């Protein structure tokens, strides 16, 4: 991660979480912006000024983190702003194995674990306290919500949301675009998009 001049794009709650983590990781000179000009007033957090999206980007802010929790919106903005500018942010209290691979623009929150052999695509969020065990594969712009647990060798498709506190048993897969509800337990592979809830997880009508 760069130590300065990181632009955080997204002025909502997730933006504040990412800004807090970036600063804890030692970043200085943080800036913030949002697609919605009405949100671009004052500061994202104390000392992190918000800039209007139509104002010229400060020259030093070439590095970018798209801090939007909604998967499709995060993907859309990342593509619009330039994948080559994306930087990953890991909170210093996260435990990320040096033998894991993280694509550009990922965020790993405090108390999250990413184990050896895990491979994360672009713009993946591993939120507070989530566990991504060994050899998991996570597709681009997926979100593993707070407290969710992926057992070893799990495969998560692009754009998937694994809800807060959900569990995916080892070796299972979750298809692109699926939403696994908060607290669900995925015991069988999920091959279709849509919302899956309960224990064991079943497709919601
Ligand atoms: C599963 C989920 C996507 C459904 O959302 P929704 O379609 O808007 O559902 P609703 O809130 O309208 O609820 C519809 C029904 O599903 C039930 N339901 C909702 N979420 C559920 C869940 N996680 N587990 C079990 N049942 C659930 C509701 O009780 C309701 O039941 P009813 O029809 O008998 O009254 C959503 O509730 C969820 O769990 N999202 C994950 C959120 C999350 O963890 N975000 C992380 C943010 S960092």
Residues 73 and 80: beta-carbon distance below 8 Å: no
Rg of the chain, C-alpha, whole Å: 17
Judge if 169 and 121 occupy the same domain: yes
CB-CB neighbours of 90 under 10 Å: 22
Return the best residue to mutate from 181, 199, 200, 202 for the ligand 1 pocket (most ligand atoms within 8 A of CB): 181
Residue 203 domain-assigned?
A: no
Question: Bridge partners of 126?
Answer: 108, 144
SS3 content of the chain, % helix, strand, coil (to 5): 15, 30, 55
Residue 205 domain-assigned?
A: no
Which CATH number fits the domain that encloses residue 33? 3.40.50.20
Last residue of a domain, one of 39, 58, 87: 87
Judge if 119 and 79 occupy the same domain: no
Judge if 97 and 191 occupy the same domain: yes
Judge if 67 and 95 occupy the same domain: no
Judge if 102 and 172 occupy the same domain: yes
Query: Of 80, 99, 96, whose CA–CA distance to 88 is shortest?
Result: 96
Pocket lined around ligand 1, Cβ cut-off 6 Å:
69, 127, 145-146, 163-164, 179, 181-183, 195, 197-198
Q: State the pLDDT at residue 3.
A: 46
**Residue bearing the CA closest to ligand 1, atom 26:** 197
Q: State the pLDDT at residue 205.
A: 86
For residue 180, which atom of ligand 1 is closest to its CA? 1
Residue 17 domain-assigned?
A: yes
Residue 184 domain-assigned?
A: yes
Listed in sequence order, the DSSP H helices in the chain are 13-24, 71-81
Q: State the pLDDT at residue 4.
A: 58
Judge if 64 and 114 occupy the same domain: no
| Strand order from edge to edge, sheet including 131-132 | 95-96, 113-114, 131-132, 149-150, 167-168, 185-186
Judge if 24 and 72 occupy the same domain: yes
Q: State the pLDDT at residue 2.
A: 47
Residue 57 gets which letter from DSSP?
P
Return the best residue to mutate from 197, 200, 203, 205 for the ligand 1 pocket (most ligand atoms within 8 A of CB): 197
Q: Which residues, other chains included, contact 48 with Cβ-Cβ below 8 Å and sequence gap of 6+? A: 8, 19, 23, 30, 31, 32
Distance 48 CA to ligand 1 centre (A): 34
Q: Which residues, other chains included, contact 86 with Cβ-Cβ below 8 Å and sequence gap of 6+? A: 64, 65, 66, 78, 104, 105, 122, 123
Judge if 165 and 193 occupy the same domain: yes
Q: Which of 91, 128, 134, 143 is catalytic?
A: 134
For residue 204, which atom of ligand 1 is closest to its CA? 16
Judge if 108 and 37 occupy the same domain: no
State the DSSP string of 172-185.
Answer: -EE-TTEEEPTT-E
Along the 205 residues of the chain, how does pLDDT read in single tens digits?
A: 444 589 999 999 999 999 999 999 999 889 999 999 999 999 999 999 999 888 766 656 679 999 999 999 999 999 999 999 999 999 999 999 999 999 999 999 999 999 999 999 999 999 999 999 999 999 999 999 999 999 999 999 999 999 999 999 999 999 999 999 999 999 999 999 999 999 999 999 8
Which CATH number fits the domain that encloses residue 185? 2.160.10.10
Last residue of a domain, one of 87, 113, 138: 87
Domain extent for 106: 90-197
Distance 22 CA to ligand 1 centre (A): 31
The Cα–Cα gap between 154 and 122 comes to 17
How many domains are there within the chain? Answer: 2
Judge if 183 and 100 occupy the same domain: yes
Last residue of a domain, one of 67, 87, 107: 87
């Amino acid at each position: 991660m760069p130590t300065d001049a990181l632009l955080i794009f997204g002025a909502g709650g997730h933006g504040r979480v990412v800004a807090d983590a970036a600063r804890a990781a030692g970043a200085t000179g943080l800036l913030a912006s949002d697609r919605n000009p009405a949100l671009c007033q004052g500061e994202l957090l104390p000392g992190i000024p918000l800039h209007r999206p139509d104002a010229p980007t400060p020259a030093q802010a070439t590095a970018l983190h798209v801090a939007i929790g909604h998967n499709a919106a995060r993907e859309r903005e990342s593509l619009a702003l330039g994948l080559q500018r994306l930087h990953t942010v890991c909170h210093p209290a996260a435990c990320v194995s040096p033998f894991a691979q993280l694509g550009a623009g990922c965020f790993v929150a405090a108390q999250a674990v990413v184990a050896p052999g895990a491979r994360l695509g672009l713009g993946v969020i591993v939120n507070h306290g989530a566990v991504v065990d060994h050899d998991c594969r996570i597709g681009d712009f997926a979100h593993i919500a707070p407290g969710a647990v992926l057992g070893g060798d799990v495969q998560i498709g692009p754009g998937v949301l694994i809800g807060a506190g959900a569990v995916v048993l080892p070796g299972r897969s979750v298809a692109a675009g699926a939403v696994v509800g908060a607290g669900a337990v995925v015991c069988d592979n999920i091959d279709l998009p849509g919302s899956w809830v309960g224990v064991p997880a079943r497709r919601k009508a």
